[in-house]
Amino acid sequence: MSEQTPTPEELRHRERMQRKKALVDRKIARATVDRGVLVVNTGNGKGKSSSGFGMLARSLGHGFHCGVVQFIKGSFSTGEEAFFRRFPEQVDYHVMGEGFTWETQDKARDIAAAQAAWHIAARMLTDARYRLVLLDELNIALVKQYVMLEQVLPALAARPADQHVVVTGRGAPDALVAMADTVTEMRVVKHAFEAGIRAQQGIEL
């Protein structure tokens, strides 16, 4: 049975896809560098930490040893913590926050917690065993100056060459954005909370 002659629209589509494939192939051919990347997820929209934990899951799938330090969250249990603690041989998981700052209402305690979290994070950033380090809500600690940018940038620059780092939280400082290899800004379009729907397990918790 002979093939049916393509229609003009099918031919145009094929030509567009051929041009697109050639463009993508050229970009892939130019991407020859292999090294650890710094990823920053920021903005006011939902999904910054979720994306980071997605990369953590992907890293585990490749057999990487990973580290997690949560700088703000900590006063309530989350599904991601419950899940990733099932892999103690692959993930060093540290929940160091005291909760959201409007809940603690104790600046000195928040600063002490953030500094303790940074102490653990800084150690991970010197250890080549960690192929991916997730610094969840570090941006919040930086914005509030609970952890100083002057501490963080040199540690990120000096980390092992093949170590990936993901930093999350709104308000990423400009200098951190400039250093990063990949930056994504989450934008709010709608959020269920604004309609009176409380945080849901599997979505926010």
Domain assignment present for 7: no
Domain assignment present for 165: yes
Residue 161, pLDDT score = 97
C-alpha closest to that of 96 among 140, 53, 128, 130: 140
Domain assignment present for 28: no
Q: What is the β-pairing status of strands 66-70 and 132-136?
A: parallel
Task: Write the pLDDT tens digit of every residue in 58-104.
Answer: 999 999 999 999 998 665 678 999 999 999 999 999 998 765 554 55
- Looking at the structure of the chain, the number of domains it has is 1
Task: Write the pLDDT tens digit of every residue in 108-154.
Answer: 888 999 999 999 999 999 999 999 999 999 999 999 999 999 999 99
Domain assignment present for 6: no
Domain assignment present for 11: no
Domain with residue 176: its CATH number is 3.40.50.300
**Residue 17 has what DSSP assignment?**
H
Helix, strand or coil, per DSSP, at residue 30: helix
Q: Mean pLDDT of all residues in the chain?
A: 91
* Angstrom distance (rounded) from CA 145 to CA 122: 16
Domain assignment present for 21: no
Domain that holds residue 190: 34-195
Domain assignment present for 1: no
